[in-house]
DNA sequence: TCTCGTAAGATGTCTGACGTCTTACTTTGG
DNA sequence: CCAAAGTAAGACGTCAGACATCTTACGAGA
């Protein structure tokens, strides 16, 4: 597959797409150096800034790696764009289900790998969660406990994935104004997770973690199916949600 | 938090970091319009192309959204950079564990939501997997089956996450030259997953899915702990380029 | 043969300009 | 007085050329 001069739409987007295609289909192997910016600009019939913007975007997501004075190299052949698109448009429910997957796996791994320090830290986090009353503070404490479990799993990728999706989830919930209406699971269920982790029982930990989130997910479905009156009003100024959270459309 | 002129290192990276900080700490709320490129350039003491490259990168990951002729808006306050960094540097083992999380959740959801068409498709995929003999073909068929389960989960975010991480996993395995040495689970375990999904038993499906991947993960650990002679060479992550990556003349 | 300096190539950044689209305001017609 | 069309301002999109700085490779000299 070769490169061809770009046609319509956005120039930079077209360039980006062609570069990503070269990487995805293996024309440019992982580890290989791609042509210089000026060469690419010439081959594509665009200016150098256009090529640079495309390379910068691909570099930011880890597909390319730029080494000043040397050249630009392929770092990963996996195309992150479909996932990025989905993450941007995902409904709160979809994010919640992914988050549940992380929670269960984190608990399972934590049960096998947790240290004494981990347990002490988790105890602190759970206590802080129990003592929090104000909604925002409680939400933050709850997230910190879940993250604490992930940290005990000793899997940095899982930790960061969970951190990101927790933030994304919080965002989605706020967008549809359910962040204060969806009841959280009580202290008992969280205690069960910690106990299973302390006991070193992966299976029990996984089950307990699922039990923490499942009820909330069920409640979320109920709320989405029958929105409460007086809370479906659209924000009337500067906010531009419109990138459908695919939830409140029934009320429109 | 305000903006301040950038100092050392890469200009664009510094700009990008400041823009991301403004978004992450809430100085620029989701939905709000950020200052114009020229204004940002003036405030940061850099040129417009530098600002544009930073905005392009943030736009590519869904943090910002650019509307031609109008302005640039904040789309998400979650910072994806820590996750992106981790994804780029993650070990095959870490990716594998995350993949396991997806597999289990996908199976659980598929058991609840699969249609008759899903079951028929999964039967085809499983048969194709059994019939594949050549290593590459088998790996592809195996991935397609797992993706098929994800598709039956009806969660587009989970599907795309799984697709991306499967690709990333394949990449990692190839990098350490284990993609043909780690034995895959046999047909029996996969059959159990499909049966549980067909039976509509989420718990059994989750357990079966875990049983598919767990042994492979254990084997992977063994191989990584005691590398086979002749295969312990470090993956040449920074493979030096052959100049042969030049593109042929584009014939249009 | 080893070391150092130099030159070539590539990316980093800036300046300035023009094109085009969106938006809001103004003007005009009803 | 209201509504529709026209216009102007603002913002992003793209291009061109130039210079700075870093990396690498090669050749000259010890």
pLDDT band at residue A225 using 50, 70 and 90 as cut-offs: low
Residue A159 tokens read as: 């930790």
Nearest chain B Cα distance for residue A204, angstroms:
12
Q: Among partner residues B239, B245, B247, which is closest to A43 by beta-carbon distance? A: B247
Please state whether beta strands A64-67 and A71-74 pair in parallel, antiparallel, or not at all (unpaired): antiparallel
For the cut 60, the answer to whether the pLDDT of residue A229 exceeds it is: no
B75 at A interface, C-beta within 8 A = yes
Buried b (16+ CB within 10 A) or exposed e, B96-127: bbbbbbbbbbbbbbbbeebeeebeebbeebbe
Quote the CA–CA distance of A174 and A170 in Å, as a whole number. Answer: 6
Nearest chain A Cα distance for residue B126, angstroms:
24
In chain A, positions 97-136, which contact chain B (CB-CB < 8 Å)? 97-98, 100-102, 104-105, 109
Quote the CA–CA distance of B196 and B203 in Å, as a whole number. Answer: 8
pLDDT at position A223: 75
pLDDT band at residue A173 using 50, 70 and 90 as cut-offs: confident
pLDDT digits (tens, 9 = 90+) for B129-165: 999 888 788 889 999 999 999 999 999 999 999 999 9
pLDDT digits (tens, 9 = 90+) for B21-70: 999 999 999 999 999 999 999 999 999 999 999 999 999 999 999 999 99
Buried b (16+ CB within 10 A) or exposed e, A21-30: ebbbeebbeb
pLDDT at position B145: 96
Contacts of A246 (CB under 8 A, 6+ apart): A89, A91
Could you give the C-alpha distances from A147 to A142, A164, A167, A194, B105, in angstroms and in order? 9, 10, 11, 13, 19
Model confidence, pTM? 0.86
Q: Which residue has the higher pLDDT, B40 or B238?
A: B40
Do the beta carbons of residue A223 and residue A181 sit within 8 Å? yes
pLDDT band at residue A232 using 50, 70 and 90 as cut-offs: very low
Contacts of A29 in chain B (CB under 8 A): 245
Nearest chain A Cα distance for residue B152, angstroms:
14
For the cut 90, the answer to whether the pLDDT of residue A163 exceeds it is: yes
In Å, what is the separation between the CA of B70 and the C1' of D9? Answer: 12
pLDDT at position B248: 29
Quote the CA–CA distance of B171 and A30 in Å, as a whole number. Answer: 9
Residue A158 tokens read as: 């899982």
For the cut 80, the answer to whether the pLDDT of residue B239 exceeds it is: no
In chain A, positions 81-100, which contact chain B (CB-CB < 8 Å)? 82-88, 90, 94-95, 97-98, 100
Nearest chain B Cα distance for residue A20, angstroms:
13
Put simply, the answer to whether A59 touches B59 (Cβ < 8 Å) is no
Residue B98 tokens read as: 């995350």
Q: What backbone torsions phi and psi does residue B106 show, to the nearest 5 degrees? A: -60, -45
Nearest chain B Cα distance for residue A123, angstroms:
25
pLDDT band at residue B228 using 50, 70 and 90 as cut-offs: very low
pLDDT at position A174: 84
Task: Look at the block and give the residue holding tokens 């008759």.
Answer: B116
pLDDT at position A151: 98
Put simply, the answer to whether B157 touches A87 (Cβ < 8 Å) is yes
- Closest alpha carbon within chain B to A104: B101
Contacts of A99 in chain B (CB under 8 A): none
Q: What backbone torsions phi and psi does residue A162 show, to the nearest 5 degrees? A: -65, -45
In Å, what is the separation between the CA of B65 and the C1' of D18? Answer: 32
pLDDT at position A165: 97
pLDDT digits (tens, 9 = 90+) for A51-86: 999 999 999 999 999 999 999 999 999 999 999 999
Residue-averaged pLDDT of chain A: 86
Contacts of A112 (CB under 8 A, 6+ apart): A200, A202
What DSSP character marks residue B249? Answer: P
- Closest alpha carbon within chain A to B58: A57
Could you give the C-alpha distances from A135 to A92, A138, A140, A142, A184, in angstroms and in order? 19, 5, 9, 10, 11
For the cut 90, the answer to whether the pLDDT of residue A172 exceeds it is: no
In Å, what is the separation between the CA of A101 and the C1' of C21? Answer: 44
Put simply, the answer to whether A52 touches B57 (Cβ < 8 Å) is no
Nearest nucleotide by C1' position to the A41 CA atom? D15
Please state whether beta strands B71-74 and B33-34 pair in parallel, antiparallel, or not at all (unpaired): antiparallel
B138 at A interface, C-beta within 8 A = no
Quote the CA–CA distance of B75 and A143 in Å, as a whole number. Answer: 22
Do the beta carbons of residue B128 and residue B120 sit within 8 Å? no
For the cut 50, the answer to whether the pLDDT of residue B241 exceeds it is: no
pLDDT band at residue A7 using 50, 70 and 90 as cut-offs: very low
Put simply, the answer to whether A161 touches B98 (Cβ < 8 Å) is yes
Q: Among partner residues B59, B77, B250, which is closest to A2 by beta-carbon distance? A: B250
Contacts of B73 in chain A (CB under 8 A): 240
Contacts of B61 (CB under 8 A, 6+ apart): A60, A61, A84, B80, B84
- Closest alpha carbon within chain A to B62: A88
Put simply, the answer to whether A161 touches B59 (Cβ < 8 Å) is no
Percentage of residues in chain A having pLDDT higher than 70 = 82
B171 at A interface, C-beta within 8 A = yes
In chain B, positions 32-51, which contact chain A (CB-CB < 8 Å)? 32-33, 49
pLDDT at position B180: 64
Q: Which of A26, A86, A90, A174 to mutate to test the interface with B (most CBs of B within 10 A)?
A: A86
What DSSP character marks residue B183? Answer: P
Task: Look at the block and give the residue holding tokens 């930073």.
Answer: B54
In Å, what is the separation between the CA of A55 and the C1' of C13? Answer: 16
Do the beta carbons of residue B21 and residue B1 sit within 8 Å? yes
Window from A156-160, A213-217, B157-161 with minimum mean pLDDT: A213-217
In chain A, positions 178-237, which contact chain B (CB-CB < 8 Å)? none
pLDDT at position A187: 81
Quote the CA–CA distance of A246 and B119 in Å, as a whole number. Answer: 27
pLDDT digits (tens, 9 = 90+) for B76-107: 999 999 999 999 999 999 999 999 999 999 99
In Å, what is the separation between the CA of B218 and the C1' of D23? Answer: 43
pLDDT at position B173: 85
């Amino acid at each position: 597959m070769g490169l061809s001069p770009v046609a319509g739409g956005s120039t930079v987007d077209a360039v980006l797409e062609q570069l990503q295609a070269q990487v995805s289909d293996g024309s440019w192997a992982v580890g290989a150096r791609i042509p210089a910016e000026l060469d690419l600009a010439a081959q594509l019939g665009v200016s150098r800034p256009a090529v640079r913007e495309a390379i910068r975007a691909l570099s930011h997501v880890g597909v390319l790696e730029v080494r000043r004075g040397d050249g630009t190299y392929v770092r990963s052949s996996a195309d992150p764009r479909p996932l990025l698109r989905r993450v941007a448009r995902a409904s709160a429910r979809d994010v919640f289900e992914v988050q549940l997957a992380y929670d269960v796996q984190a608990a399972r791994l934590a049960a096998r790998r947790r240290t004494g320090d981990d347990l002490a830290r988790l105890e602190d986090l759970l206590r802080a969660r129990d003592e929090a009353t104000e909604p925002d503070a409680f939400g933050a404490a709850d997230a910190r406990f879940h993250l604490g479990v992930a940290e005990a799993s000793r899997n940095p990728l899982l930790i960061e994935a969970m951190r990101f999706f927790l933030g994304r989830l919080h965002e989605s919930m706020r967008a549809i104004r359910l962040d204060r209406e969806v009841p959280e699971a009580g202290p008992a269920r969280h205690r069960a997770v910690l106990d299973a982790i302390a006991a070193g029982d992966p299976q029990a930990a996984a089950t307990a973690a699922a039990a923490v989130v499942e009820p909330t997910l069920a409640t979320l479905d109920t709320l989405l199916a029958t929105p409460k009156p007086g809370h479906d009003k659209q924000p009337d100024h500067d906010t531009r949600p419109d990138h459908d959270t695919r939830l409140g459309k029934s009320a429109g």
